[in-house]
Structure 1
Amino acid sequence: MPMTGRCREPNCHNLVIRPLHYCNTHADKEVAYQESRQRWANQDNSKRYKDYDRKRNEDPLKSEQHKFYQTKQWKSLRRVAIARDNGLCQYCLSRGRVRTGKIVDHIVPYEIQPSNRSNLDNLAYCCSYCHKHKTEWEQIYYGTGFGNKHKDVVLVRKVSDIPDLKTP
């Protein structure tokens, strides 16, 4: 069965067969669209990536954190945590929901306690929704994130002790 999609023209709901992006009614726009995609693919993005790396590497902790996530040790820990958690989001499970995970998360953030980065008990597999909301909670509770000041608070070490994240 061929792969299909909707026409890219606003308010046009006709189906198109890939690799085309416009229906027969709007076929005249296909060439211009393909040319713009080619220009985007050919442009030099090295400056944008270089700026991103420069900003990340200005902070020694973030630089160290990035390097850690590239190591064999982290990749091995990640595989063990996924197997231990059976591929299910631990934050959802603690609230009686069953969802598959995508991200291995540090329960106590790396930024707050770097020495605890390799502790398997500090890792939880979670879905992207819970990870996003936990990150927002961490920014308020711990003061993590860019431009925030770390707060002197009690460390939350269990998934079940983290306040209820917004329900998906």
Structure 2
Amino acid sequence: MPMTGRCREPNCHAVVVRPLHYCTKHADKEAVYQASRERWTNRTDNSKRYKDYNKRKREYSDIKVEQNKFYQSKQWKSIRDVVRRRDNFLCQYCKAHNRVRTGKIVDHIVPVEFDLNGKTVMDNLAFCCSKCHTRKTKWEQIYYGTGYGNKTKNVIPIKNIKDVPDFQKNEQ
């Protein structure tokens, strides 16, 4: 039995046999649709665009190149899974300020750019939600001087999650 579907024309409920997308009544739109699909499937500039992005944003220094390789490694992926389970998939920054929220990101409490030796230390890792991660990254750029175009500062590293400022005092 052939594969079937509905006509893509709004409010037309005619059955269409694949690979067609429009019924015989709207067959004139099939060629236009196929042409638009071809434009998107034959794009060859995506790899160049991603490569350019990586050079400008991710790999602007040798240290960043090494960091990027580390985050793709099997070692990081296994450490990340252990931290997720250890923290019960809950944001540790929210938990430190009496909130409960599930997380999605394993974060270095002291950034890797500031302390290269702490990238695999389990005590330097915490599971966090995307809101806390974004706000903590902005705070790190100010406090530690990390990030693109910044120079790291000579400050005391904050290793305890409870000492990191509450990013969401004004919310809720």
Query: TM-score range with shorter-chain normalisation?
Result: 0.7 to 0.9
Alpha-carbon deviations, 1:115-156, whole Å to 9, x = none?
110100000000111101111111111111101111111101
What's the RMSD between the two structures over aligned residues?
2.6
Alpha-carbon deviations, 1:64-92, whole Å to 9, x = none?
00011111111111011001100100011
Does structure 1 residue 149 correspond to structure 2 residue 151? yes
Higher alpha-carbon Rg? 2
Does structure 1 residue 53 correspond to structure 2 residue 72? no
Q: Identify if the C-alpha distance between structure 1 residues 108 and 34 changes in structure 2 by more than 3 Å, giving closer, same or farther.
A: farther
Query: Any stretches of 5+ residues in structure 1 without a counterpart?
Result: 1-17
Counterpart AA for 1:49: Y
> Equivalent pairs: percent with the same residue?
56
Counterpart AA for 1:81: V
- The equivalences for 1:3-14 within 5 A come to none
**3-state DSSP of counterpart to 2:107:** strand
Counterpart AA for 2:105: I
**3-state DSSP of counterpart to 1:152:** coil
**3-state DSSP of counterpart to 1:63:** helix
Does structure 1 residue 162 correspond to structure 2 residue 160? no
Query: Any stretches of 5+ residues in structure 2 without a counterpart?
Result: 1-5, 13-25
The alpha-carbon deviation at position 47 of structure 1 amounts to 1.0
Q: Alignment length, in residue pairs?
A: 148
**3-state DSSP of counterpart to 1:125:** strand
**Which runs of at least 4 in structure 1 moved beyond 3 Å after TM superposition?**
22-25, 30-38
- Match of residue 39 from structure 1: 39
Counterpart AA for 1:91: Y
What's the TM-score, normalizing by structure 2?
0.76
